[in-house]
């Protein structure tokens, strides 16, 4: 499909505009499928694709440039000269800062959408329901050998604003939300799981809608996947670190309810972690021994002081 064929379906004049954010690193084997799945969206409104390559060492950047030449009014590339992730820079916030649309959708370069009406359904709902800030749907994991029917942990129901603020997980590649956050705070850039932090911030603006009629998006599991290849322990540590960042974020904003929530969540998760149970056992033993020594010392002083009374 040509750029002209895509754009001729857009109604004019249109006040709607959607920015699709796509981040890439060494994804030459997958990025064509990702970009094609976005370009195949049948919409009555304009959309742009902000695709950022983080200094890939393969042909990812050249593929993006080829697409930009073919779709110059839709593809908006960001081509880093030096890898930013290794310097602690999160990918998605960089693309969000460039988003000009009323709405933002996400599709990483190693994932892809599987429904050509996805964006239209999500925008139609958000336009008709001002009390909702984000829509999302289901996805399934896929490897080179086929589809894995496994629960990846994302919400499959509507979420209240409070549930969003408490960073209930959502499948990132399915999210489409209002572009209401104008200045992303420094805590968002330092969060280990920036997506969870984002859902929490969006909860200040409304509720979340699960759209069950949208076909599954595809989350790709492969050797180069940054998050999919993390161990269970590493993911747990990332989640705890994000909770700590959210505690700091809401503390700085004097939101006692949410700061206390993330503080308690962090403490509970810390206590339940395997390494912490061992540590707590050692701490408990240490304090018990100190307690016994303290009591024994006081008892000995008492005996010595009152020795004559016992004679």
DSSP, collapsed to helix, strand or coil, labels residue 120 as: helix
CATH of domain 3-228: 3.90.550.10
Instruction: Report pLDDT digits (tens) over 11-44.
Output: 876 888 999 999 999 999 999 999 999 999 999 9
Domain parsing of the chain, residue ranges: 3-228, 230-271, 274-306
Q: State the Cα torsion 277-282-284-290 to the nearest 10°.
A: -170
Give ∠ CA 256-104-154 in degrees, rounded to 5. Answer: 65
Segments of the chain with pLDDT less than 50? 225, 227-228, 299, 303, 309-311
* 188: its two tokens: 């968002």
- Residue 283: the pLDDT is 53
Nearest CA to 110 out of 11, 182, 37 is that of: 37
Cα–Cα dist 131/237, whole Å: 34
Cα–Cα dist 103/136, whole Å: 13
Instruction: Report pLDDT digits (tens) over 188-204.
Output: 877 888 899 999 999 99
- Residue 142: the pLDDT is 86
Whether residue 206 contacts residue 132, with contact meaning beta carbons closer than 8 Å, is answered with: yes
Q: What is the CA radius of gyration of the chain?
A: 25
- The residues that bridge with 176 in the sheet, in sequence order, are 105, 135
* 157: its two tokens: 């129901």
- Residue 193: the pLDDT is 86
Indicate if the alpha-carbon torsion angle 208, 137, 7, 101 is positive or negative.
positive
- Residue 184: the pLDDT is 83
Whether residue 196 contacts residue 167, with contact meaning beta carbons closer than 8 Å, is answered with: yes
Q: Name residues whose C-beta falls within 8 Å of residue 263's C-beta, 6 or more positions apart in sequence.
A: 247
* 73: its two tokens: 């009014």
């Amino acid at each position: 499909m040509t750029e002209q064929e895509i754009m001729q379906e857009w109604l004019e004049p249109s006040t709607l505009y959607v920015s699709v954010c796509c981040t890439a690193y060494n994804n030459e084997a997958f990025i064509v499928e990702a970009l094609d799945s976005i370009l195949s969206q049948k919409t009555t409104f304009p959309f742009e694709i902000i695709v950022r390559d983080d200094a890939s060492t393969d042909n990812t950047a050249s593929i993006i440039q080829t697409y930009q030449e073919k779709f110059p009014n839709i593809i908006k590339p960001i081509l880093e000269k030096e890898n930013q992730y290794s310097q602690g820079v999160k990918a998605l916030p960089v693309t969000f800062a460039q988003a000009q649309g009323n709405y933002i959708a996400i599709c990483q370069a190693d994932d892809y959408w599987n429904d050509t009406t996805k964006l239209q359904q999500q925008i139609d709902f958000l336009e008709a329901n001002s009390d909702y800030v984000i829509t999302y749907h289901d996805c399934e994991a896929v490897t080179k050998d086929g589809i894995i029917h496994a629960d990846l942990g994302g919400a499959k129901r509507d979420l209240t604003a409070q549930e969003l603020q408490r960073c209930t997980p959502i499948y990132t590649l399915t999210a489409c939300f209002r572009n209401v956050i104008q200045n992303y705070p420094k805590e968002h850039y330092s969060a280990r799981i920036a997506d969870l932090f984002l859902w929490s911030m969006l909860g200040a603006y409304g509720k979340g809608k699960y759209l069950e009629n949208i076909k599954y998006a595809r989350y790709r599991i492969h050797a180069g996947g940054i998050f999919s290849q993390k161990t269970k322990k590493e993911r747990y540590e990332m989640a705890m670190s994000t909770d700590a960042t959210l505690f700091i974020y809401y503390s700085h904003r004097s939101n006692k309810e949410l700061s206390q929530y993330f503080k308690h969540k962090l403490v509970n998760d810390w206590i339940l972690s395997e390494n912490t149970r061992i540590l707590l056992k050692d701490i408990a033993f240490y304090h018990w021994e100190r307690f016994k020594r303290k009591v024994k010392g006081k008892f000995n002083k008492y005996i010595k002081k009152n020795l004559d009374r016992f004679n």
